[in-house]
Structure 1
Amino acid sequence: MGEDGPVTSASPRPVTRLIATDLDGTLLRDDKSVSPRTVAALAAAEEAGILVFFVTGRPARWMDVVSDHVHGHGLAICANGAAVVDLHADGRIIEVRPLARPAARAVVDLLREAAPGTSFAVELTTGIHYEPAYPPFFQDPGATVATAEKLLREEREEQGSLSAPVLKLLAHHPELDPDEFLTLARAAVGDLASITRSSPTALLEISGPGVSKASTLALACAERGISAAEVVAFGDMPNDVEMLTWAGTSYAMGNAHPAVIAAASGRTVANEEDGVAVVIERILAERDQAAHGV
């Protein structure tokens, strides 16, 4: 591996018009910071007329780590494609692709049967709520602690935030191997929902049928007249696989999951080595050389 370059480079590509990058394990360093080199690369890409979209499993309320680095369009794709948010408006959700409550309740029933010991959290447009046994990453102050069945019960609008649309269901198992849990859950649930994972633990993220980073990114690109061939994407975990497969050019990080390495058309160095910035710098250098006939 070169000290400062991709392990492998993707094939020659059309002119890049949009860069789509995951955050955790990809754009962000392990301490959740954005390095000065990466900040500069993102700004240079936007200045060159290349749109940059952050495409993440994070909810809108956890986007403060990159909110200062979204340029003109102000948009990010969150919750694995279930929400489009405006980071220029404090993370206001402007588009939702929800998981229907009846489908979510059916998924809970199926996973309780297929993997006893599974606990759940429910991510709504208004925040996250947990079962008592669920191990949260952050204990949101406004979270309701109750069974998933209660959290997913249809509520009248005047009964408060629990009636908000469901962005995703999270399922955690304390003992299963993460990839085994994913395989088991997909077999149990079938086409009732889309299931993926981005955590190193056995934590699954469950969205509406057909909802993924790729499908929402494709909609955003279509609105802008951008083809898949003009997109360069970056990722490191299974929830990035569809996006990396869809994009005309894609890079697995040096720290990526094997499924991501298999899906991507190229590979860059790890997030700790600014792998996204390395590729952006090369794209811009190649563009500059082409403009000057080099």
Structure 2
Amino acid sequence: MREDGAVTSATERPEPQMPESDRSAPVPGGVRLIATDLDGTLLRDDKSVSERTVAALAAAERAGIEVFFVTGRPARWMGVVSEHVHGHGLAICANGAAVVDLHRDGKIIEVRPLERPDALATVKTLRAVAPGTTFAVELTTGIHYEPDYPPFHLDPGATIATAEELLASGWAGADQPVLKLLAHHPRLGPDEFLALAREEAGAHGSFTRSSPTALLEISGPGVSKAATLAHCCAERGIAPEEVVAFGDMPNDVEMLAWAGTSYAMANAHPDVLAATSARTVANNEDGVAVVIERIVAAARR
């Protein structure tokens, strides 16, 4: 869509250009799997999947290259891309805490939980070292949050209570695995809050962030996008050097470091830019599609 509101066709839209440093970069050969983050990476800022990206994903599948969406989103927020997961239908959600089957309405088929004692220890520690922190608890069945937790995504089915109550053994949702704990601070900077939480409570979980605000996402110890992706690839006999990964935020860093070839989006966080040697154009310029097209073209030669 142009600034005047008119919609341009794929043929009318200018072709995004690779960054100067990457135009001569060799296209990786022998690619068997593409792993891509969603928000800020595959999706445009309006949360849409462009026609060009849809075509690139389909071309990769036709070329025999699997595509995994690897995201911090919960399964219930995967509708925007569910129809674009082809053969296997699987996606990695909640920063690696869940593997879901998008062909079965987002059914969770594998869980790597944050155990409640670790979640409670994290809450206790962050309340002490960062007063003003508020929490939400993401279960396999949905999210629940504290009264003062910011209304990022209101859920009419949520229980509103303290984190301690939401994590207590006597609560109605106590039989549901905890996928992740979310912690928000109203005054600390996002990276400052992340560093503090890792230092003070890192023994109880894996801490990361994907939001521009001071919103942390806490998974079980050792749980990450990278760990679950590595497990899924091992089940398929796919080695790291056969994987190309894309990302833009700190929750992507481990995955980008694990994959044989990794691309940071032009709009990526400095930590992501530092963790990768390859670059592509921004998410709003279809940076993932630009690279996939090159990979598929190279595979045909």
- Asked if these proteins are the same fold (TM beyond 0.5), I'd say yes
Farther-moved stretch of structure 1 (121-130 vs 135-144): 135-144
* Structural mapping, 1:1-294, within 5 Å: 3-9=16-22, 13-155=28-170, 160-289=172-301
Residue type of the alignment partner of 2:190: P
Cα distance in 2 for residues equivalent to 1:147 and 1:82: 23
Deviation (angstroms), 1:11: 5.4
Residue type of the alignment partner of 1:94: I
Q: CA RMSD in A?
A: 1.3
Cα distance in 1 for residues equivalent to 2:202 and 2:153: 30
Q: Which runs of 5+ in 1 are unaligned?
A: 290-294
- Would the aligned equivalents of 1:7 and 1:268 in 2 still touch at CA under 8 Å? no
Cα distance in 1 for residues equivalent to 2:80 and 2:66: 19
Deviation (angstroms), 1:7: 4.6
- Would the aligned equivalents of 2:97 and 2:113 in 1 still touch at CA under 8 Å? yes
Residue type of the alignment partner of 2:17: D
Deviation (angstroms), 1:154: 1.4
Corresponding residue SS for 2:229? helix
TM-score (norm 2): 0.92
Residue type of the alignment partner of 2:51: P
Residue type of the alignment partner of 1:102: P
Cα distance in 1 for residues equivalent to 2:234 and 2:256: 17
Structure 1 residues 101-130: Cα deviation after superposition (integer angstroms, max 9, x where no partner) = 011000000000110000000000000000
Name the structure 2 match of 1:292: none
Cα distance in 2 for residues equivalent to 1:180 and 1:148: 22
Structure 1 residues 152-172: Cα deviation after superposition (integer angstroms, max 9, x where no partner) = 0013xxx64343100000000
Structure 1 residues 210-248: Cα deviation after superposition (integer angstroms, max 9, x where no partner) = 000000000000000000000000000000000000000
Deviation (angstroms), 1:14: 3.9
TM-score (norm 1): 0.94
Deviation (angstroms), 1:50: 0.1
- Would the aligned equivalents of 2:63 and 2:299 in 1 still touch at CA under 8 Å? no
Residue type of the alignment partner of 1:204: L
- Would the aligned equivalents of 1:6 and 1:275 in 2 still touch at CA under 8 Å? no
Cα distance in 1 for residues equivalent to 2:217 and 2:95: 8
Corresponding residue SS for 1:143? coil
Deviation (angstroms), 1:141: 1.4
- Would the aligned equivalents of 2:29 and 2:298 in 1 still touch at CA under 8 Å? no
Q: Number of aligned pairs?
A: 285
Cα distance in 2 for residues equivalent to 1:7 and 1:117: 45
Deviation (angstroms), 1:265: 2.8
Cα distance in 2 for residues equivalent to 1:188 and 1:142: 33
Cα distance in 1 for residues equivalent to 2:112 and 2:201: 19
Deviation (angstroms), 1:187: 0.3
Seq. identity, %: 75
Deviation (angstroms), 1:198: 0.2
Cα distance in 1 for residues equivalent to 2:106 and 2:146: 26
- Would the aligned equivalents of 2:52 and 2:286 in 1 still touch at CA under 8 Å? yes
- Would the aligned equivalents of 2:74 and 2:94 in 1 still touch at CA under 8 Å? yes
